[in-house]
Amino acid sequence: MKPPLFAYRAPTTLDEAIKFMAGNADAMVLAGGQSLMPAMNFRLANPSMLVDIQHVEGLTGITIESGRIVIKAMTRHRELELNADVRRANPLIAETMAHVAHIPIRNRGTVVGSLCHADPSAEMPLMFVLLDGMLVAKGSNGTRHIPAQQFFQSFLTTARKQDEIVVEAHLPVLPSGAGWAFDEVTRRHGDYALVGVGCVLELEDGRAKGVRLAACGIADRPIRLGAAESALNGTTLASGDLDAAVWTTADAVTQTDDMNTSASFRRRVLGTLIRRLVHTAALRAQNRSRP
Amino acid sequence: MRRAQIRPAIPERSEDPRVEVALTVNGQPVRRTVSVRMLLSDFLRHELGLTGTHVGCEHGVCGCCTVHIGGKAGRSCLTLAVQANGFEVRTIEDVAGEDGILHPIQQAFKECHALQCGFCTPGMVMNILSRFQEPEPLDLSEDGIRDMLSGNLCRCTGYINIIAAVRRAAELLGRE
């Protein structure tokens, strides 16, 4: 349970860090290390070089500007979770963060690191897909803005190129009347989700609009449940409407039976979570729209 | 097929590339030259002889190796020694007073019989201490304390007495 050997670099500028990444096909970025270090201790990851970006200038802090929450690469989970402005701007974030591992892990692990690790059961990638988040990657050929839906490609695989470092991740501020909810089912408190679901919706004259639903743990990447969203938009969210929405997700679970659970259990959990979370989000939307 | 041969003695020093690490541990500056892949947990135990930090699972699940890194609880088994360069690290050895007087959290563990074998206790204490030092209000409900302790495994006590100890510690520290 010790990591395999690697070359270690601790650059202080982004250009230097990008050069190290570009010059070494097996180099990996080390930020908080809360996913990478266990993978290395298990010898699942064996990078030839670690580029430690904690000393790189300009990669810390959270800002909120023109409706976007900008999370820099070295921002730890716990910083985002406890940020009072972020709590006001988008209460879904803190609700979701509470499910990310345990506090000592959240003290060290970074939000962007979790996104780049791209575990299909992880909560942060789900939230970025749910809210149409954006990732900003800098590499030898300049800067790319990558929408979250395109960023997550498969199990532990992202659109990041080898010579790129994701320097920022953007999440939108929630619309003022929107309700939100996140929950997941796990084997143990703090584990990766068997299935996790996030929901955002607004109400207009008792009818749902702008419904967003996404799930993690059901496929090789976080999935937006577009058909279920369409099934709910314009409805009063009656139980029949929820039935119809859940029905559309029958084929969304492509994760096969594994050591954690069966595909059929994931399917049932997905349906249950959708029903519960749409309900919670609707209640919150009602409360927010009251004068 | 030849029988396996007895191999020559393993070198005492690994041939890994080495790197200089300078950090503050329990208020004292330390400087060592270690392998790049040395974990902070091994650095504390083997290089500094601070064996109060325990090593259980070495993949971040059991919480026994929890120390404070830059003032916040973190897993020393998921941190390279070289990552702690320039940081202040605090271990269980620094928690009780020099005169041996227990910290209120330790005192609470003792009063509530919150340990049996004691293997998980250093990690528990460092984690709880970190939470008590955060400015955030503490959730001292049963669920809140269980959430606080969820990253630390204990195989002896069944957690009941540890939960009681957290409540007692909150009393002793005036955090009700």
Question: For residue range A42-70, what is the model confidence (pLDDT) as tens digits?
Answer: 999 999 999 999 999 999 999 999 999 99
Is the confidence at residue A262, as pLDDT, over 90? yes
Q: What is the set of domains in chain B, with CATH numbers?
A: 18-94 (3.10.20.30), 104-172 (1.10.150.120)
pLDDT at B4: 84
pLDDT at B152: 97
Can you give the pTM of this predicted structure?
A: 0.94
Is the confidence at residue B176, as pLDDT, over 80? no
Mutate: best of B33, B75, B152, partner A, most A CBs <10 A: B75
Q: Is A101 on the interface with B (CB under 8 A)?
A: yes
| B74/A82 CB distance under 8 A | no
Q: pLDDT (tens digit, 9 = 90+) per residue, B17-69?
A: 999 999 999 999 999 999 999 999 999 999 999 999 999 999 999 999 999 99
Reduced to 3 states (helix: H, G, I; strand: E, B; else coil), residue A245 is helix
What token pair was written down for B59? 């993949």
| B75/A34 CB distance under 8 A | yes
Interatomic CA distance for residues A149 and A133, integer angstroms: 8
Q: pLDDT (tens digit, 9 = 90+) per residue, B87-105?
A: 999 999 999 999 999 999 9
> To the nearest whole angstrom, how far is the Cα of B17 from the nearest Cα of chain A?
8
| B150/A190 CB distance under 8 A | yes
Phi, psi of A161 (to 5 degrees): -85, 160
Mean pLDDT of A266-289: 96
What token pair was written down for A262? 């069966």
Beta-strand ranges (E) seen in chain A are: 7-9, 27-30, 49-52, 62-65, 68-72, 134-139, 142-147, 152-154, 157-158, 165-172, 179-185, 195-204, 207-216, 223-224
Interatomic CA distance for residues B77 and B58, integer angstroms: 5
| A52/B83 CB distance under 8 A | yes
Do the beta carbons of residue A96 and residue A182 sit within 8 Å? yes
Question: What per-residue string of b and e applies to B114-145 under the rule 16 or more CB within 10 Å gives b?
Answer: bbeeebbbbbbbbbbbbbbeeeeebebeeeeb
Out of B69, B77, B131, name the one closest to residue A103 (CB).
B131
pLDDT at A291: 62
pLDDT at B7: 79
Do the beta carbons of residue A196 and residue A99 sit within 8 Å? yes
What token pair was written down for A56? 């790189």
Q: Is A78 on the interface with B (CB under 8 A)?
A: yes
What residue has token string 């988008």? A90
Q: In terms of Cα–Cα distance, which of A122, A286, A290 is closest to A207?
A: A286
Q: Is A103 on the interface with B (CB under 8 A)?
A: yes
| B151/A101 CB distance under 8 A | yes
Q: What is the set of domains in chain A, with CATH numbers?
A: 7-52 (3.30.43.10), 62-172 (3.30.465.10), 179-289 (3.30.390.50)
Residues of chain A with pLDDT > 70, as a percent, come to 100
Is the confidence at residue A215, as pLDDT, over 90? yes
Q: In terms of Cα–Cα distance, which of A255, A191, A245, A247 is closest to A223?
A: A255
What is the band of B9 on the pLDDT scale with cuts at 50, 70, 90? confident
